Structure 1
Amino acid sequence: MFYSSFIFKEGFSVERSSSTNRFQPLSSVRSGDGVQITPDVYGFTTQIVNVYMIGNPAESNKWVLVDAGMPRQADKVLSAAAERFGEDHQLQAILLTQGHFDHVGGLIDILEQHPVPVYAHPEELPYITGKKDYPKGDSTVEGGLVAKISPEFPVEGINIGKHAHPLPADGSVPGLPEWKWIHTPGYTQGHVSYFREQDRLLIVGDAFLTVQQDSLFNVLSQKTNISGPPPSFTLDWDAAENSVQKLAALKPSIAAPGHGKPVKGAELVEGLGMLSNEFDEIAKPDHGRFVDDK
């Protein structure tokens, strides 16, 4: 495991790894854009991945961040938060859907300025506490150019020390009583999604996407297409299918994905229903290291 430096912040030691400090030269047309999904949920795109800010600026300057975006993008996330909540904004916690580099890339830099608790599924904690690395991306998987270059993406775990906490076993979300977390493994063992019953808003992570991730053109152009998880890194396709079916059963009104645009209404109902019913045909590759090992 490679670590390049140590940072000390308010009594915590944080190890800086290549998964958080190695800039990735991929950027979509939506990079730097924000979208208000509901009055208290705001999406912001860092290069090719979305983070979500939960909190209503009309009521408070306190907010919660879901995922931390691409490496070296923390300042942009915090600038967007300052614009939304004010310069004196108060980040309360960070919720992770997973620990892959594009979802924790800004984590250490954000924690340097805002040393808040970070919550993840217990099976994902080893990847943010320095105990495990992810497998390298599978370049042999059926797919496009993104699959071919996936082994170059960083897979090193990071260590955020005492900031890391397990999500509560009862499915509740600390500080957000209207939300619950749902274990949606497949892409990673500890992948989770977040759901609010009152408006049926679903923050998906990478359990399913609204852009075809194995197409570089679609990733960069953000052409909407409800599809399965990224094929190069999905470890368990049976679990991934079960997770999609579990989320479809919730009948979400709005899906806010890790990659792609938020989708709602008939487009979501039809697209997610088709993905759930025809997962093998739509999402599962015919071959690949994680396919053939099953």
Structure 2
Amino acid sequence: MDEEMHESEDSKIIPMTSITNGTGEEVANDVFYFTNQIANIGFIGYPDKGDWMLVDAGLPKSADEILEKAEERFGKQNPPSAIILTHGHFDHVGGLVELVQKWDVPVYAHTKEIPYLTGEKSYPEPDPGVEGGMLAKISKMYPNKPINLGNAVKPLPDDNSVPGMDDWEWIHTPGHSPGHVSFYRERDGMLLSGDAFITVRQDSFYNVLMQTSEVNGPPRYLTTDWESARESVEKLAALKPETVVPGHGTSMSGEDLQEGLQQLAKTFDQTAKPDYGRYVDGPKYH
């Protein structure tokens, strides 16, 4: 194990929750997710067939809960083949370092996301001044320093395949972060969208608490390239997915998902992009 592996310098417990905290849903026989506080964590694989993959790793200090859920679904002493990341923001990698140290498995991410996972770059700071609700206003407290996974992190294959996830492909969906990816399985229209689009208004404290379900753009306070974010939503809308497991919010399927996603793509600049904020006028990636 890489001796330099470490958590971010500003890692801390974030006091957020929702009514779905700790609960899970099986959306296909081999696709399960559960909500860690306000973020979703995916489990890809059949419970009775051994091999499985973890998608994202929740908020800070979430490793114990993830380990517990993994054992419930896949049994003890049965680590995943790998961990796959949609991106590296604090609420998607919170338990990652401890999980890699426990399981000794590789982590796959887009090449443009790797500098934020190896201690080289910090993400742009969250924007508490962006148009939005309470969770945007308090976003200054959110961690943005990089974790360091050392040589445990690997780039996703150039051919868009996903290691250990047959029939799945990764799709580059930047905007919320430079190396953000979503995962899609064509045979049943299953989409793991990460934060490219989500199904709750993430800056609204009440909507997050109650998990009010509606198709929304990416979280405003951490999205730094709105043109790319719109193009990513258009790309995913063109797939016409049948079911989505988002990074935040509840799963959606059928007409509610497809109509909501098409509407979001058509009205993105009016409904998703904020009217004002630090990153509204152009990308501010480091």
TM-score, with length taken from structure 1? 0.94
Contact 1:12 1:162 in 2 (8 A): no
Match of 2:113 in 1: 124
**2:72 equivalent among 58, 83, 101:** 83
In the alignment, does 2:152 pair up with 1:163? yes
Contact 1:61/1:88 (<8 A) preserved: no
Alignment of 1:55 onto 2:45 = yes
2:24 is aligned with 1:16: no
Separation in structure 2 between the aligned mates of residue 47 and residue 174 of structure 1, nearest angstrom = 28
Kindly state the Cα deviation for residue 104 of structure 1 after the two structures are TM-superposed. Answer: 0.2
Shift of 1:13: 3.2
Q: Which one of the candidate residues 20, 25, 31 is aligned to 1:41? A: 31
Q: Which residue of 2 aligns with 1:4?
A: none
Q: How does 1:111-190 map to 2 (within 5 A)?
A: 111-190=100-179
Mapped to 2, the partners of 1:85 and 1:233 lie a distance apart of 33
Separation in 1, partners of 2:8, 2:257: 37
Task: State how many pairs are aligned.
Answer: 283
CA distance, structure 1, for counterparts of residue 166 and residue 72 of structure 2: 25
Q: Which residue of 2 aligns with 1:7?
A: none
1:255 is paired with a residue whose SS is strand
Q: Give the aligned residue type for 2:87.
A: Q
Matching of residue 217 in structure 1 with residue 206 in structure 2 = yes
Deviation at 1:62, TM superposition (A): 2.0
Match of 1:3 in 2: none
What secondary structure is seen at the aligned counterpart in 2 of 1:292?
Answer: coil
**Which residue of structure 1 aligns with residue 84 of structure 2?**
95
| TM-score normalised by structure 2 residue count | 0.96
**In 2, Cα distance between equivalents of 1:16 and 1:105:** 8
Q: Which has the higher strand share?
A: 1
Q: Percent identity?
A: 50
Deviations 1:147-203 (A, max 9, x none): 111111000001010101010111011122210000000000110000011111000
**For 1:173, what is the secondary structure of its paired residue?**
coil
Say yes or no: does 1:237 pair with 2:226.
Answer: yes
Deviating runs (4+, > 6 A) in structure 1?
none
C-alpha distance in 2 between matches for 1:18 and 1:31:
26
Matched with 2:16 is: 26
- Report deviation, 1:256: 0.6
- 1:12 Cα deviation (Å)? 4.4
The whole-number CA distance in structure 1 between the counterparts of 2:42 and 2:3 is: 26
- List alignment gaps of at least 5 residues for structure 1: 1-9
Mapped to 2, the partners of 1:98 and 1:88 lie a distance apart of: 27
Find the aligned partners of 1:195 and 1:166 in 2 and give their Cα distance.
Answer: 18
1:5 maps to none
Given that residues 2 and 151 in structure 2 are in contact (C-alpha distance below 8 angstroms), is that contact kept between their aligned partners in structure 1? no
Asked if 1:247 is matched to 2:272, the reply is no
Contact residue 51 and residue 66 of structure 1 kept, 8 A = yes
Deviations 1:80-137 (A, max 9, x none): 1101111132311000000000000000111121011100000000000000001111
- The whole-number CA distance in structure 2 between the counterparts of 1:293 and 1:175 is 36
Any unmatched runs of 5+ in structure 2? none
Spell out, residue by residue over 1:179-229, the C-alpha distance to the aligned partner (whole angstroms, 9 max, x if none): 000000000011000001111100000000100011111111111011000
- Pair 1:226 & 2:215 matched: yes
Give the whole-Å Cα distance in 2 for the aligned partners of 1:175 and 1:230: 29
